[in-house]
Homo-oligomer: A and B are copies of this chain.
Amino acid sequence: MAVTDEAIDKIKEMLLRGELKAGDRLPPEKELSDRLGLSRSSLREAVKALELIRVLDVRRGDGTYVTSLDAKLLNEAVAFVVELHQDKSILELFEVRRILEPATAFIAASKISSAELQELGAAMDGIDEHTDVEELVAHDLEFHRIISRAAGNAYLESLLDALSGSTVRARIWRGLTQDRAVAHTLAEHKAIADALARGDAELVKALVTVHISGVESWLRQAL
């Protein structure tokens, strides 16, 4: 194509060149479209596309702003794609997660703070095999997120977060509930938290590998 895609590229270049920085406000639609030499309609298409992947933030009645442009961008972009691949090749996506999650936990083991360890403990409080699925999913998400955050790499955190979308997580925990495997899975969480507290990185890595692989094989059989 041409005009609209050129506009996307030009905006991207303005970002790369530092002409536009995070938090900056873009010129009004009319002015920017004149400057880039296209119509408002076409410019709006470009802006909309950049808004979908969270590069721009459009505030009605106010203006269009550049987002923080941090690692969370990865999350948005990947999550959208992952959501579309739900039934199809979840297992391949899971294989990626099986690589990343233990490595992340390994890194986290040597960096995690006592505050984060406390958070991890709090995340498990009040969660047992009688907790309803919705809350279990929230717990699971938080548990893994605290660990990935402790690894100190925002991209890793975003990627892991996006790779197992909440839809997949919900399905898994629903399945675990039916199979009465919730207690077992929660025990794995507990073991991981304990090993993290002791700073035993190798054990953490092994436990996480077992944990993820367990879920993976459950998923494989469930499909």
Write the residues of chain A forming the contact surface with B, with a CB cutoff of 8 angstroms: 1, 4, 8, 12, 15-16, 41, 44-46, 48-53, 55, 58, 60, 69, 71, 73-74, 77-78, 80-81, 83-86, 88-89, 92-93, 95-96, 99-100, 103-104, 153-156, 159
Contacts of A95 in B (CB 8 A): 153, 155-156
A155 CA to B90 CA, complexed, in Å:
10
A12-B84, A52-B52, A95-B156 given; A89·B71 CB < 8 A: yes
A1-B58, A52-B49 given; A93·B16 CB < 8 A: no
Could you list 12 A-B pairs, sorted by A, with CB under 8 Å? A8-B52, A12-B84, A15-B84, A45-B45, A46-B48, A50-B52, A71-B85, A77-B81, A92-B156, A96-B153, A96-B155, A99-B104
Copies of this chain, count: 2
**Are the CB atoms of A53 and B81 closer together than 8 Å?**
yes
A52 CA to B8 CA, complexed, in Å:
9
Contacts of A100 in B (CB 8 A): 96, 99-100
CB distance from A162 to the nearest CB of B (A): 10
Given A1-B58, A71-B85, A96-B155, 14 further pairs, Cβ under 8 A: A16-B86, A46-B48, A48-B48, A49-B49, A49-B51, A49-B52, A69-B84, A73-B84, A89-B154, A92-B153, A92-B154, A96-B100, A96-B159, A99-B104
A94 CA to B102 CA, complexed, in Å:
17
CB distance from A155 to the nearest CB of B (A): 5
Contacts of A50 in B (CB 8 A): 52
A92-B154, A96-B156 given; A78·B80 CB < 8 A: no
CB distance from A150 to the nearest CB of B (A): 14
Q: Which 5 A-B pairs have the closest CB atoms?
A: A77-B77, A49-B52, A45-B48, A99-B103, A49-B49
CB distance from A65 to the nearest CB of B (A): 14
Contacts of A89 in B (CB 8 A): 71, 154-155
